[in-house]
């Protein structure tokens, strides 16, 4: 007869849980056993006819709990969507040199804030600055934890309780509800909007410069304003501001150091162009078009950078040692003119459609099914809206594409793809070379569970 007294005690279970204790530790194993026993008692009270679990079953259920509790929620996956800088998928994959530099910084002590010459305390602010000075020809630079904090810190240091002039057409919102007006307000700056949504004249700026502390431009990286529009060139804005003795800050966001037009895309404004226009401070991201780890970079005039570096908020948003090591390694690729070869996102943008087609054909041959068809890749990451790159994808016609993609997301490693016209599409452009074997293994396993209708070869 079933009786709760027949359940093994915690002590009895612990005596049989040596392997679990060695793997997960005694306290966590104890929690799992207690919860498993609690569930068994609860089921029995609801239905006394329920068979009580054996010791082995309790241990197995506890092990499942332990595995779920300790499994990382942040997992590597395969991006076969064709979106190069996919914000939801972690944006830019890093170069081998960048990964190595970050790993070395994480695994060892370093001279993060130590001067090896004097043997005294140094400053973390110098790391990456020399590379940025050489690469961009700027007087000074600072790395913080992301571009949003770069803008917040800059405005807080230079314009707290002061007027900042910005065009209405640039009061943008980017992903995650980040709004430029809200950041400006948080910094203590007094927002002065000029012009209209679609038309901004140089005179609109000039009329507000006499009492302004800063002029700010925010690059509309994730949308376009088209039609009946007007906006002065950045150089014109800078010249007018400087005549009035007002510095200009450019929130460039995307962090392009290479002209994207060379890859058949629209031109994305570069950091070098902003500096050439005379902008005093440029803020941009490290993990978008730059192709590095998450970081915010502030470059420009040393007089202004010194104020920014000394501001109390600078400590709150400072970059850690792994970020500084990683962004330095990424910037070195640009310094050595090897970005297209070494930085994954730049390599993906530069990849010719024919190169992509060769990989897609190899996948089709390995699977023995599917069709290679023309499609489009996108840059993503809030950069180059409405722009695409010609590509080729492996198209698989399955009974239920959405269910098929769900199966792929549950695989190890998860594979993220897209659907179109009742087909599952896999774009080689965004699949890293070292991931191809794993991708094909996942696809082969998933296809065994689906009825595949072969596409007729074109």
Tokens 């994480």 correspond to what residue? 106
What is the pLDDT at residue 451? 52
**Tokens of residue 442, six digits:** 């996942």
CA 55 to mean position of chain CA atoms: 46
**pLDDT tens digits, 178-234:** 677 788 888 888 989 898 878 889 999 999 999 999 999 988 755 566 667 788 899
> In the numeric block, which tokens belong to residue 217?
């431009």
d(CA 242, CA 240): 6
Q: Which residue has the tokens 């010249």?
A: 239
- Who contacts 231 (Cβ-Cβ below 8 Å, separation ≥6)? 167, 169, 195, 199, 200
Are 249 and 216 within 8 A, CB to CB?
yes
Band the pLDDT of 384: cuts 50, 70, 90. confident
What is the rounded distance in angstroms from the CA atom of residue 4 to the CA atom of residue 41?
7
Does residue 104 have a pLDDT over 60? Answer: yes
Measured distance CA(190)–CA(198) in Å, rounded:
22
Over range 229-252, report the average pLDDT.
93
- 396-438 residue pLDDT tens: 998 889 999 999 999 999 999 999 998 999 999 999 999 999 9
pLDDT above 50 (res 455): no
Hey, what are 294's tokens? 């998450």
Q: Which pLDDT score is estimated for 2?
A: 62
* Cβ within 8 Å of residue 135, ≥6 positions away: 257, 331, 334, 335
Does residue 456 surpass a pLDDT of 90? Answer: no
286, 327 Cβ separation under 8 angstroms:
yes
251 Cβ contact list (under 8 Å, min separation 6): 147, 151, 180, 216, 217, 218, 219, 283, 284
Percent of the chain with pLDDT over 70: 95
Angstrom distance (rounded) from CA 345 to CA 69: 34
Q: What string of DSSP letters covers 383-424? A: BSTT--EEEEEEEEEBS-HHHHHHHHHTSSS-EE-EEETTEE
Mean pLDDT over 296-308 rounds to: 98
Phi/psi of residue 140, each to 5°? -155, 165
CA 205 to chain centre: 34
164, 190 Cβ separation under 8 angstroms = yes
What's the rounded Cα separation, in Å, for the pair 341 and 435? Answer: 18
**Coil/strand/helix, residue 205:** helix
Digit-coded pLDDT (tens) for 2-29: 678 889 999 999 999 999 999 999 999 9
457 within 8 A of 100, measured Cβ to Cβ: no
Does residue 382 carry a pLDDT above 50?
A: yes
To which residue do tokens 């010609």 refer? 390
pLDDT at 182: 81
Q: Is-contact 81 426, C-beta < 8 A?
A: no
Give the whole-angstrom CA distance, residue 141 versus residue 296: 11
pTM: 0.90
Tell me: the pLDDT tens digits for 313-341? 999 999 999 999 999 999 999 999 999 99
Report the pLDDT value the prediction gives residue 175, as an integer from 0 to 100. 59
What number of other Cβ atoms are within 10 A of residue 57's Cβ? 13
- Token look-up 């809206």 returns 385
pLDDT at 450: 66
Cα 170 to its chain centre, rounded Å, is 23
Is residue 367 within 8 Å of 361, Cβ to Cβ?
Answer: no
Q: Is the pLDDT of residue 265 over 50?
A: yes
Task: Give DSSP secondary structure letters for 317-347.
Answer: TB--HHHHHHHHHHHHHHHTT-HHHH-HHHH
Contact 305, 142 (CB under 8 A): yes
Q: What is the pLDDT of residue 173?
A: 67
Q: Please, what is the average pLDDT of the chain?
A: 92
Q: State the pLDDT confidence band at 110, using cuts at 50, 70 and 90.
A: very high
pLDDT score of 131 more than 80: yes
Check: CB of residue 161 under 8 Å from CB of residue 190. Answer: yes
DSSP string, 72-89: -SS---EE-SSEEE-GGG
Question: What pLDDT is attached to residue 199?
Answer: 87
Strand 281-285: give its sheet, edge to edge. 140-144, 296-300, 281-285, 248-253, 212-218, 163-167, 190-194
Vertex 116 angle, CA 115 and 122, to 5° = 10
Are 429 and 391 in contact by the 8 Å Cβ rule? The answer is: yes
φ/ψ (deg, to 5) at 21: -65, -40
Residues paired with 230 in a beta bridge: 199
């Amino acid at each position: 007869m079933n009786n709760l007294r027949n359940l093994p005690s915690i002590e009895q279970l612990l005596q049989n849980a040596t392997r679990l204790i060695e793997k997960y530790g005694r306290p966590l194993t104890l929690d799992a056993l207690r919860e498993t026993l609690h569930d068994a008692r609860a089921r029995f009270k609801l239905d006394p006819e329920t068979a009580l679990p054996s010791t082995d079953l309790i241990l197995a259920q506890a092990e499942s709990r332990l595995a779920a509790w300790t499994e990382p929620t942040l997992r590597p996956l395969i991006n076969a969507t064709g979106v190069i800088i996919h914000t939801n998928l972690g944006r830019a994959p890093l170069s081998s040199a960048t990964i190595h530099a970050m790993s070395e910084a994480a695994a060892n002590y370093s001279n993060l804030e130590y001067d090896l010459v004097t043997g005294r305390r140094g400053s973390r602010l110098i790391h990456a600055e020399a590379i940025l000075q050489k690469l961009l020809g700027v007087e000074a630079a600072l790395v913080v934890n992301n571009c949003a904090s770069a803008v917040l810190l800059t405005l807080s240091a230079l314009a707290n309780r002061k007027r900042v002039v910005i065009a209405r057409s640039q009061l943008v919102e980017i992903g995650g509800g980040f709004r430029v007006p809200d950041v400006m307000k948080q910094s203590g700056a007094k927002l002065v909007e000029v012009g209209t949504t679609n038309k901004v004249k140089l005179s609109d700026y000039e009329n507000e410069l006499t009492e302004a502390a800063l002029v700010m431009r925010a690059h509309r990286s994730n949308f376009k304003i088209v039609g009946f529009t007007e906006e002065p060139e950045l150089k014109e804005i800078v010249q007018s501001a400087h005549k009035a003795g007002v510095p200009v800050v450019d929130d460039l966001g995307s962090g392009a150091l290479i002209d994207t037009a060379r890859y058949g895309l629209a031109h994305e404004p570069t950091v070098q162009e902003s500096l050439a226009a005379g902008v005093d401070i440029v803020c941009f991201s490290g993990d978008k078009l730059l192709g590095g780890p998450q970081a915010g970079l502030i470059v420009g005039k040393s007089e202004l950078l010194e104020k920014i570096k000394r501001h109390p908020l600078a400590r709150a948003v400072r970059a850690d040692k792994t970020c500084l090591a990683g962004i330095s390694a990424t910037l070195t690729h640009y310094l050595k003119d090897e970005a297209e070869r070494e930085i994954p996102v730049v390599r993906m943008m530069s990849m010719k459609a024919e190169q992509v087609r060769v990989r897609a054909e190899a996948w089709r041959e390995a699977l023995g099914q599917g069709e290679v068809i023309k499609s489009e890749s996108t840059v993503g990451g809030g950069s180059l809206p409405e722009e695409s790159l010609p590509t080729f994808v492996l198209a698989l016609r399955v009974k239920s594409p959405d269910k098929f993609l769900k199966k792929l997301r549950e695989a190890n490693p998860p594979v993220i793809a897209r659907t179109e016209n009742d087909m599952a599409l896999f774009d080689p452009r965004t699949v890293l070379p070292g991931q191809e074997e794993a991708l094909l293994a996942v696809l082969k396993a998933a296809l065994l569970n689906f009825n595949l209708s072969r596409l007729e070869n074109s």
